């Protein structure tokens, strides 16, 4: 599956998905939010909600991660029309880059101008604590180094240019607004700023891999989100990203700690409300 260098989905298929969605709801979103692991509750905050299971939407992929609700939710947040993904897609599920990023191209054709991505990540920076929220200032795309870039293959100019710039992947104005909001909400002490590294998973990183990622400047590591950011920027959508630090990587061979999915899922219950408030007020100011 990963060997394919051509996009699986065409512009016309994306348009069919969009036409179906627009026929089901009157919401015309300008903001899209991808809810990462444990952060699906963001979609429950929308008013006048209309939710569509992924498997009911033409051409839409669906997730295989246990306990995840596969829904695309339309509604209003602080008076702004939004669409939320209650779950994203991952390489470790067997999804290729076209499947992982398909929703972002749908968002683009829906008229979305701003994408907010959230995820659960493991802290690599020794100054980070469990429960911190990291604003993403840049990313390292490990699958991309291996040729798994969602823009590989023929380029459709209706989505974007052949060689998009990625030095401005994360919008600085949105980051500045988020910092101000964090200070107003009294959570600035828990707000970090750093580089997110994506690995394909499903295994957690070895200690040697963690040390390598620290050496190249990564502050947090996770298994999602970067392909969506790449496609969003290809489409001209501005991006704001947040990582919830759910656990710290194991960095000592003598340690008896072991990373596990239950630890990640349990930790997200603690600072989720702070992250939700941050996103709500950011949407309000956009």
Enumerate domains of the chain plus CATH numbers. 11-285 (3.40.50.1580)
The helix (run of H) or strand (run of E) holding residue 251 is: none
Q: Name the residue with tokens 């065409």.
A: 10
* 228 touches 34 (CB < 8 A): yes
* 55 touches 80 (CB < 8 A): no
The predicted structure's pLDDT at residue 4: 43
Residues 6+ apart with CB under 8 A from 99: 8, 61, 89
Question: Does the pLDDT at position 82 exceed 60?
Answer: yes
Question: Does the pLDDT at position 251 exceed 60?
Answer: yes
Rounded Cα gap, residues 82 and 65, in angstroms: 24
Strand partners, 32: 83, 115
- Given pLDDT bands bounded at 50, 70 and 90, which one contains residue 273? confident
What length does the chain have?
286
**Greater confidence, 227 or 249?**
227
Nearest alpha-carbon partner for 230 in 170, 181, 147: 170
The predicted structure's pLDDT at residue 61: 84
The predicted structure's pLDDT at residue 5: 42
Nearest alpha-carbon partner for 62 in 93, 33, 84: 93
Least confident among 124-133, 242-251, 263-272: 263-272
Would the pTM count as exceeding 0.85? yes
């Amino acid at each position: 599956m990963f060997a394919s260098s051509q996009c699986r989905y065409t512009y016309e298929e994306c348009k069919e998905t969009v036409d179906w969605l627009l026929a089901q709801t009157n919401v015309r979103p300008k903001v899209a939010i991808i809810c990462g692991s444990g952060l699906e509750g963001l979609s429950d905050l929308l008013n006048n909600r209309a939710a569509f299971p992924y498997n009911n939407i033409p051409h839409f992929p669906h997730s295989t991660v246990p306990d995840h609700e596969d829904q695309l939710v339309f509604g209003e947040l602080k008076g702004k029309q939004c669409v939320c993904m209650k779950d994203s897609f991952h390489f470790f599920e067997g999804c290729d880059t076209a499947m992982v990023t398909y929703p972002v191209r749908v968002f683009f054709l829906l008229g979305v101008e701003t994408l907010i991505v959230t995820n659960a990540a493991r802290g690599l920076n020794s100054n980070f604590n469990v429960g911190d929220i990291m604003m993403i200032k840049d990313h390292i795309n490990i699958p991309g180094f291996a040729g798994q870039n969602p823009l590989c293959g023929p380029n459709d100019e209706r989505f974007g240019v052949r060689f998009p710039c990625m030095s401005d992947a994360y919008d600085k104005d949105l980051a500045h607004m988020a910092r101000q909001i964090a200070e107003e909400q009294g959570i600035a002490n828990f707000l970090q700023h750093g580089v997110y590294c994506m690995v394909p998973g499903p295994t957690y990183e070895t200690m040697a891999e963690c040390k390598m990622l620290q050496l190249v400047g990564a502050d947090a590591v996770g298994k999602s989100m970067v392909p969506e950011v790449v496609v969003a920027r290809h489409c001209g959508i501005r991006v704001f990203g947040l990582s919830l630090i759910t656990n710290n990587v194991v960095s000592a061979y003598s340690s008896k700690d072991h990373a596990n999915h239950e630890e990640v899922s349990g930790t997200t219950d603690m600072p989720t409300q702070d992250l939700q408030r941050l996103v709500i007020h950011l949407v309000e100011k956009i």
